[in-house]
Structure 1
Amino acid sequence: MKLIEKSLGQIVLSIPRSSALFRQYDIDFCCGGKQTLGRTVEKKGLDIELLENQLLELSEDTLEKDWREAPLSEIIDFIIVRYHDRHRAQLPELIIQAEKVERVHANKLAVPKRLTKYLEALYEELSSHMMKEERILFPMIKNGLGANAAAPISVMEQEHDDAGDILEIIKKITNNVTPPAEACTTWKVLYNGINELIDDLMIHINLENNLLFPRALAGE
């Protein structure tokens, strides 16, 4: 299958560092991971030849871990430790930093107004979501009941979309998470942390939406 015909989710799972490349082009490969590369490029008016060449260059590298071949229980354990636990550590610190930046720089035009509120909303959304996965969905999948989990999986996918919507608002009010020239150290550290969170969350959602859930529903 040609790259242009592959879904964004498939590409991220098979080509090292393609997720970082897609972030550069502001391409949503997690909640929008079922969209083909060709359709995405057409909608965004990008240069398909350039993007394909960049992806082909990346494809020469070796994946650190090919999760497409891993047992579902191993994928779940990895998601909890690498992403769930990480999000629980990231967001409280980002909320503290955002509150400080909004308070100290309240009189500056570039200050990301209401950023604290949206980070708190994301934390609340993800905390509830991850708890439901860990207590209900993941045990079902580990016990071989993934084929019967269509309803909870549908709910989880919708909640992924909801988290993605909050991320889009955060990106908008932070100028795509780009600190202004007058940004202090805390402001820069905050934006670095938000970019790391976005990267982590997009890869996390892609692993679930486009690998774990389809394989579980197929009865693996």
Structure 2
Amino acid sequence: MNHNLLQQTLGNIACELPGATRIFHAHKLDFCCGGQLSLSEAAARRGIDAEAIADELQALGALKAEAVDWRTAPDAELISHILERYHARHRLQLPELIRLAQRVEQVHGDRDDCPAGLTDLLRYMQQELESHMLKEEHILFPALLDGMGLQATAPISVMRMEHEQHGAALQRLFELTQQITPPANACNTWRALYSGLDEFVRDLMQHIHLENNVLFSNALNPTRQSL
């Protein structure tokens, strides 16, 4: 089974195995924007042991039946889930993260390990993500709900391109925060910031995964019946 897992794409594994995204996140493997890479390829790029990760994933197999398989869910149900679980959540997360980051930079700006520039990066991400979500809410999602999946190739391509930009911003976030690892002597505000960042990153990656690897793939699949 490990050989099979090694050759599967991260996106497919994330769809097949509940809990796989947690393992990918722990190993800093990009299953959303980089979901087209096989586990073997992605691990090689990170310089980590693909076999060991495959062993972790194999242990998840027994849990498969316990989670929703969004690939077979009606489009309306998946879109509703994305809107409620991710769009609404991001709009709550980012203002508080920006406030905390600004506080950390103001108080600890003289330290070498201070994430200088994080506030500006989060403001940029908030602006770009809000624009992106509004396009989905007012243009793409209504089109998909009207059964226009194959006619939505162009806007889907734009959304995927913007997802790549979100992925690049996440990489910059990791660089500024030492992989979201607070210093040993970090204050409570600093620790709260990084805890919130970790949750935000997990949510955003899962959000992009559900769109790229499930919703958009379903929409562009000519053999799939409209649900």
Q: Say whether 1:40 aligns with 2:75.
A: no
Matches for 1:189-208 after TM superposition, within 5 Å: 189-208=192-211
Is 2:87 the counterpart of 1:96?
no
Matched letter for residue 165 of structure 1: A
Structure 1 segments (4+ residues) deviating >4 Å: none
Are 1:166 and 2:160 matched, yes or no?
no
TM superposition shift of 1:78: 0.4
How far off its partner does 1:49 sit?
A: 2.1
User: Cα distance, 1:44 vs. partner?
Assistant: 2.7
| Distance (Å, rounded) in 2 between the aligned partners of 1:40 and 1:103 | 37
Do residues 129 (structure 1) and 132 (structure 2) align? yes
- Corresponding residue for residue 90 of structure 2: 87
Pick the aligned partner of 1:78 from 76, 81, 91. 81
Confirm or deny: 8 A CA contact 2:6 2:39 kept in the other structure.
yes
Q: 1:106 to 1:48 in 2, by over 3 A?
A: closer
Identity of aligned residues (%): 45
Measure, in 1, the Cα distance between the counterparts of 2:122 and 2:68: 31
Alpha-carbon deviation of 1:164?
0.9
Rounded Cα–Cα distance in structure 2 between residues aligned with 1:185 and 1:42:
36
Give the TM-score, by structure 1 length.
0.97
Give the distance between the partners of 1:202 and 1:161, measured in 2 at CA: 11
Q: Partner of 2:32 in structure 1?
A: 30
- How far did residue 64 of structure 1 move? 2.2
Tell me how large the CA RMSD over aligned residues is. Answer: 1.2
Further displaced range: 35-44 or 202-211: 35-44
Give unmatched runs, 5+ long, in structure 2.
none
Aligned partners of 2:13 and 2:20 also within 8 Å:
yes
Q: Distance in 2 between matches of 1:216 and 1:98?
A: 38
1:48 Cα offset (Å): 2.5
- Aligned partner letter, 2:110: N
Counterpart Cα distance in 1 of 2:114 and 2:46: 28
Aligned-partner Cα distance in 1 for 2:13–2:51: 16
| Partner residue in 2 for 1:58 | 60
Whole-Å Cα distance in 1 between the matches of residues 122 and 84 of structure 2? 21
Shift of the alpha carbon at 1:140?
0.3
Query: Matches of residues 175-214 of structure 1 in structure 2 within 5 Å?
Result: 175-214=178-217
Show the counterpart of 1:12.
Answer: 14
Q: How many residues align?
A: 220
